[in-house]
Structure 1
């Protein structure tokens, strides 16, 4: 089992300057903040990174910078996904994955493939990938749900080691946990359901909010994995308000404002995303100050 992916991974946001350029000082600050907060691994160029608005050159530069700042302190997972299978295969050839430990690849969006189409898409990635592959199911963004049956079918492939499951349907999560192969990882992609998933036999989380509260969030998941559920749920109940606030007006606008209030980096986002409203800003500030 890829035990380095048990626990808390964080889907890093991409800090920007006021002119929309990448704020590399902010990237450094965020990476160090997460490492010092004792998360288990970092996810680069996921959805939270606003990766769909980054150019190829920006992606390469961001990857290089994060690798340098991390300096082998934590395992790294890279997001490589999209809705053009052949383009993903080309991208996997172009990206230097030597410093990464796994690939995270999302279900194709917009095309709305059938379950067989999803299977064949991931089989092509499995056959071409030089690293272990994590599936990523997030129907709220892609418009298509990868069923538990398709996930379990894909779990039989050699290179596919687990799934980041953000379906929002806990019954589907339970079906996967119940019938998965022994070493197949079930990682929550839903911050609010991460601890219940761990309690049911899951392996952890790839979190958005975890980068804003790395110490408490990662401790919560570690307690859950060790069976100390009472202590773990006490932390979850403390975090519940900000789990709502972080997604109330979309991701990553919410978590970027959390990071701004905490002094980690600024909260600029790229259109079509916009900063959080004054009312949500007030709630986030009040929560953090309390």
Structure 2
């Protein structure tokens, strides 16, 4: 259903933390022009944790309206409350999103049965296609392949964003899950190899600053042209590393400001990129040919 380079879109803000709608508009148009295959609005990189519900829904609505069907829009609607996840997912569906991305409930550390029941409840409540999102480094809970396999037969659960960076885990998911259940990389450094194993694409942080390169790399990998994909990926590997010198989205928002694409805003408890990393990130952008 969705494939290739799917950017985990940053949410632009002014220095005072208010949302910058003009920059969001420009980012959306830039991504479409550069070949990004889908936009993921208000995920982790979009600072979903610091937006209130009204802002969250408004970002989704504006992105959907602007895209106007040119590429898919996937809305981040995960929460650690099942009721809240259902509410956000219902709102995304009303806004016209093509699918929703739901992170595993964070902080409260549910059991595997709790994870199963949570995602089953959201899928039952809202008919929109839904993509699971496993990122234990941020949530303190790891959704195991057994649980994903239990969820896969639910008709509107269509895939998983696997962000462990563990290629053995990715291989196991590819082998165990139905062919029509999509596996997406949530780890830029290993996204190429995951696609060569059978994954359908990458929900990418790096694509925020190098959309054309990530799109071309994903297209080559999905077309079986490993040599071309690896050559492109080698040029941007430095970004995969440097954009995580501090917690995402701190470095990528600083990079986008350095590129002149957004203002400096980021919301507490996140803070602007530490000055000791400025030269490193700037040099990575130059090395990758995007600055």
Smaller-chain TM-score range? over 0.9
Using the TM superposition, give the Cα deviation of residue 28 of structure 1 relative to its aligned residue in structure 2, in angstroms.
1.2
Using the TM superposition, give the Cα deviation of residue 98 of structure 1 relative to its aligned residue in structure 2, in angstroms.
4.7
Return closer, same or farther for 1:202/1:253 CA change in 2, 3 Å cut-off. Answer: same
C-alpha separation between the residues in 2 aligned to 1:196 and 1:44?
A: 25
Using the TM superposition, give the Cα deviation of residue 235 of structure 1 relative to its aligned residue in structure 2, in angstroms.
1.2
Tell me the number of residue pairs that the alignment of Structure 1 and Structure 2 aligns: 287
Question: In the alignment, does 2:85 pair up with 1:104?
Answer: no
Corresponding residue number in structure 2 for 1:27: 24
Question: In the alignment, does 2:152 pair up with 1:147?
Answer: no
Corresponding residue number in structure 2 for 1:18: 15
Corresponding residue number in structure 2 for 1:8: 5
Using the TM superposition, give the Cα deviation of residue 50 of structure 1 relative to its aligned residue in structure 2, in angstroms.
0.6
Corresponding residue number in structure 2 for 1:268: 265
Query: TM-score by structure 2 length?
Result: 0.95
Question: In the alignment, does 2:199 pair up with 1:202?
Answer: yes
Q: Is the 8 A contact 2:250 2:272 kept in 1?
A: yes
Question: In the alignment, does 2:264 pair up with 1:284?
Answer: no
What secondary structure is seen at the aligned counterpart in 2 of 1:49? coil
Using the TM superposition, give the Cα deviation of residue 96 of structure 1 relative to its aligned residue in structure 2, in angstroms.
4.6
Corresponding residue number in structure 2 for 1:215: 212
Structure 2 runs not aligned, ≥5 long: none
Q: How does 1:1-290 map to 2 (within 5 A)?
A: 2=1, 5-290=2-287
C-alpha separation between the residues in 2 aligned to 1:207 and 1:216?
A: 12
Structure 1 runs not aligned, ≥5 long: none
1:233-285 deviation line (CA, Å, top 9, x unaligned): 11111111111110111111111122112221123211111111223211222
C-alpha separation between the residues in 1 aligned to 2:54 and 2:111?
A: 33
What secondary structure is seen at the aligned counterpart in 1 of 2:160? strand
Moved more, 187-196 or 150-159: 150-159
Using the TM superposition, give the Cα deviation of residue 68 of structure 1 relative to its aligned residue in structure 2, in angstroms.
3.0
Q: Is the 8 A contact 1:10 1:210 kept in 2?
A: yes
Moved more, 180-189 or 29-38: 29-38
What secondary structure is seen at the aligned counterpart in 2 of 1:46? coil
Using the TM superposition, give the Cα deviation of residue 30 of structure 1 relative to its aligned residue in structure 2, in angstroms.
1.2
Q: CA RMSD, aligned part only?
A: 1.4
Moved more, 67-76 or 206-215: 67-76
Using the TM superposition, give the Cα deviation of residue 86 of structure 1 relative to its aligned residue in structure 2, in angstroms.
2.0
What secondary structure is seen at the aligned counterpart in 2 of 1:268? coil
Using the TM superposition, give the Cα deviation of residue 164 of structure 1 relative to its aligned residue in structure 2, in angstroms.
0.5
What secondary structure is seen at the aligned counterpart in 2 of 1:81? coil
Q: Is the 8 A contact 1:134 1:161 kept in 2?
A: yes
